[in-house]
Amino acid sequence: MATGTLTDRALGRATLARQHLLRRSDTDPLAMIEHLLGLQAQAPTPPYYALWTRLRGFRPESLSALLESRRVVRIVLMRGTVFAVSAADAHALRPWVQPLLDNDLDANPIHGAGLRGVDRTALASLARELLSDTPRTQAELRPLLADHFPGQDPAALAHGVRCLLPLVQVTPRGLWGRSGQPRLAPLDVWAGPPESDLPSPDRLVLRYLAAFGPASVRDVQAWCGLTRLSEIVDRLRPQLATFRDERGIELFDLPDAPRPDPSTPAPVRILAPFDNALLSHADRRRFISDEHRARTMTKNGIIAPLVLVGGRVAGAAKLTIGGTSAVLEVTPWRSLTSSNRSAIETEGMKLVRFAAPAAGDHDVRLGTDSA
């Protein structure tokens, strides 16, 4: 059922509402993690900041406890990157995105050549045996694999294992204030087998729409890294609402999902590094201009914390904690009003105090507007 056109602003407000970035939620961290289908976790701390900006009164110890109890795990999933997800969702999502990781075995520009001719079944079996009793880092795993595959590149073998097996980064990796090297163990060994039947791909797409919609087929594919998902969306079409964006692209959504009035105020929010809210659409103009999108990633692939003002990216932030001080530096990418700047400073101070409560000196430094 087609129901009209949604402007970029309307799309932004809809997704912000589902991401709990219009109003912080009182829900518990595990429920939020599952609603969002996981949190980007290339580094240990981003999941904590992602929850802080979405949950009222979030305490980092609550996420650490979920990791220690193995109810949340860190594992390679969508787009071949590490996510912090519930153990149940790790079991659900990893088989679905496995074709993406299988393709990387051949297409990876660094390790693909080193995996040619390798018996991948034997490689996966050996790695599972090596990691089931003793979690190991990739550096520790490489010589053990090389002993059984003489003449093969050890780094390529270890990369192959990362793609072939659902491996979690065991604690203390990812714990607040502690962390550690990423030691790997099989998902089912660390967190136990799945407790119920795995959800269908259709169900996973519906959950994506609940957290990131309205969205096009290309948006769904950008989120998970898979292709050829139009068949799933077409199968779901009878139960979905359909719209068009400003450029005429067809969008899909859950009929009863929140779509606030575009005039709804959007408070200042400071997103986590690599925040999935801004990485899960092919067309991100609901949040960020194409010009500013080109500035979001550094040359070494880092996506800094981005600052939302009025529901759109207005600049980047850098948090530095050292000694007895904690400083948030914000670089605006567009002109800001005095009230915008005051709101950024207020929200930034809350973030600095969350990140380093024991620091004696907390500061927010807001740069001059830049085009």
pLDDT digits (tens, 9 = 90+) for 57-99: 999 999 999 999 999 999 999 999 999 999 999 999 999 999 9
User: If pLDDT is split at 50, 70 and 90, which confidence band does 370 have?
Assistant: low
pLDDT tens, residue by residue, 183-211: 999 999 999 999 889 999 999 999 999 99
- Specify the pLDDT at position 369: 72
Q: Which of 306, 261, 251, 302 is CA-nearest to residue 281? A: 251
Closest CA to 306 of 321, 339, 284: 284
271, 275, 277, 278: CA torsion to nearest 10: 90
Nearest-angstrom CA–CA distance, 149 and 327 = 49
Q: pLDDT band for position 303 (50/70/90)? A: confident
Each residue's pLDDT tens digit, 229-239 = 999 999 999 99
**pLDDT, tens only, 4-27:** 999 999 999 999 999 999 999 999
User: For residue 2, what pLDDT is reported?
Assistant: 52
| pLDDT per position as a tens digit, 86-132 | 999 999 999 999 999 999 999 999 999 999 999 999 999 999 999 99
> In Å, what is the CA distance from 225 to each residue of 96, 101, 164, 221, 308?
10, 10, 17, 5, 25
Is residue 371 over pLDDT 60? no
To the nearest whole number, what is the mean pLDDT of the chain?
A: 95
What's the pLDDT tens digit per position in 161-178? 999 999 999 999 999 999
